[in-house]
Amino acid sequence: MTVAEDPSEDEVRAELDARLARRRGRWGARTSAYFHLDRLHLLDASVVRRVETRIETTRDEPGDPGLAERPVYDVLDEYEVDPRDVRRGEPLDLVKRDTVSKRACACGNGLRQCPACDGMTYRPCEPARPCPVCAGVSPCTQYLAHGGKPGRTARPPKARRPVRPEERVTCAACGTPDSACGGCQGWGKVRCQTCQGRGRVPCTTCTSKGTVRCRTCGGRGELTSWTAGRITWTSETEKVPWPHRPPKRVTSQLHAGSWHENRLGPGDPLPDDLPLPHRSLVEQHLDTVKGEQDRTVVIRRLTVVRARPKGSGNREYYVFRNVAGRLTVRPAMSDEGRRNTAAVLAAAAALVVLVLLLVT
C-alpha cells in the first residue's frame, strides 16, 4: 500500500463510527470523536541473497569413482558456470586438470586382518562359569580331600538342575558320597553353554575367515586421488529489523491486511514513495557480501491506525485495509482496561482468601 492509498482520517472515523453504532446499546453513545488516532507505518523487509562458494580439496575414493563425466577446470576461481547449473541449485563437482592418479591401497588385496579376533578366526571364551546352584561357595563339604582323586579330568561338567537345591551328590573330584553340590558335582563351576568348555568361539565379525574387507579401499585394493573443486549456491535471508513492532494485541490478525509488496532485483532502486526513515533502514542492509551472485529485496508495508480513547476507556481499536481493499476494525483491550482487569482479579483473589479464612 502506498501513501496515497493509506486510509484517510475521514474513512477511519466513518468506519469506527459504524463499529461503535453496532455496539452502542452496550457501550453507550460514544463516537469516533472520543478517540485519538495514531498511524503506525509497519515495514517488513528482507534481503534474499544467492551466495556462491568455491572450495578446492584433495579427495581419495576407492576404485573408480567415475570422474570422466565431471567438468574439468584449471583455476577454480576462473571457472565459468553454466547458468543452468545455477538454476538447478545443486552443488557442482569439478576435477582439476591432470590431477587424477591411481595407487594401490596399503592393504594390498582389499582385505585386512580382522580387528575382533586379530586374524585367529576365533575369540577366547571362559570355559567355565560359576555354578548357578552353589555359586562356587560350597561345591563339596569335604574340601580337605577335594581334588585328591587321580585320573579325573579338569573339564567342568554340564550344569544340572537338582530336584532340591540342598540335595548332595557324590563328588566327582574326591569321590565322597553325599558331599557335593548337585549342580556342579563338586567342581564349583559348570561348563560354559556358549563354547561348551572349549575355551573359544568362532569370530562372528569375520565369519571365522580371519580377514575383513578394507574400509579404506572398500575391498577394491586401489584408490583414486584427485584435486576436487566444488561450487555451491545457497540462499541466505537477512531480515531488516522492524522500525515499529506490530501491535501485539492484533499481530495475528494483520496477516489478513493488504500489505503493499515490492520485489526488487540487484539493480532496482528503492520505491520512490518509501519514507526516508524506512529507506535509511533498508539501505543499511544492501551491502554486497562475499560470493553474492544475485539478490531479491522484498519490502512489505502496511499502515495501521490506532484509535485510543482520549479519556477513560477499556477498549481501543486498530483499523487497516484488508486484502479486499475494505477497512477492517479490530478491537483490543487498552492499557487502562488491562490495569482495571488486573485490579478486579486481585480483588477477587483477596475476597476468596478472606472467605476461606472466615470459614476455617
> Using one digit for the tens of pLDDT, what is the confidence trace for 301-351?
999 999 988 877 778 899 999 988 899 999 888 766 667 777 778 888 888
Question: What Å distances lie between residue 345 and 21, 340, 348, CA to CA?
Answer: 30, 9, 5
pTM (2 d.p.): 0.61
Say yes or no to pLDDT of 163 above 90: no
E strand map for 222-283 = 222-240, 260-264
Residue carrying C-alpha cell 501491535: 247
Residue 144 has pLDDT above 80, yes or no: no
What is the tens place of the pLDDT at every residue in 204-217? Answer: 999 999 999 998 88
| Maximum separation of any 2 CA atoms in the chain, in Å | 119
Q: What pLDDT, on a 0 to 100 scale, did the predictor assign at position 146?
A: 58
The mean predicted confidence, pLDDT, of the chain is 85
pLDDT tens digits for 94-137?
Answer: 999 999 999 898 888 899 999 999 999 999 998 888 888 888 78
Pairing of strands 292-309, 92-96: unpaired
Residue ranges per structural domain of the chain? 3-48+238-346
Question: Which among 49, 52, 92 is positioned nearest to 69, based on CA atoms?
Answer: 92
Higher pLDDT, 28 or 281: 281
Which pLDDT score, from 0 to 100, does residue 29 have?
Answer: 64
Q: Report the range of poorest mean pLDDT among 149-158, 194-203, 262-271, 308-317.
A: 149-158
Q: Is the pLDDT of residue 73 over 70?
A: yes
Mean pLDDT of the 281-287 span: 94
Q: How confident is the model at residue 74 (pLDDT cuts 50, 70, 90)?
A: very high
pLDDT of residue 154: 57
pLDDT of residue 152 exceeding 70? no
**Lowest mean pLDDT, pick from 57-61, 89-93, 275-279, 308-312:** 308-312
The H or E element containing residue 36 is strand 35-62
Q: Which residues contact 206 (CB under 8 A, 6 or more apart)?
A: 114, 116, 117, 121, 212
Q: Which amino acid is at 102?
A: K
Residues whose CB falls within 8 Å of the CB of residue 56, separated by 6 or more in sequence, listed in order: 76, 96, 227, 228, 229, 230
**pLDDT interval class at 3 (50, 70, 90):** very low
Tell me the Ramachandran region of residue 254: left when phi exceeds 0, alpha when psi lies from -120 to 50, beta otherwise: alpha
For residue 4, pLDDT over 50 is answered with no
Highest mean pLDDT among 106-110, 144-148, 281-285: 281-285
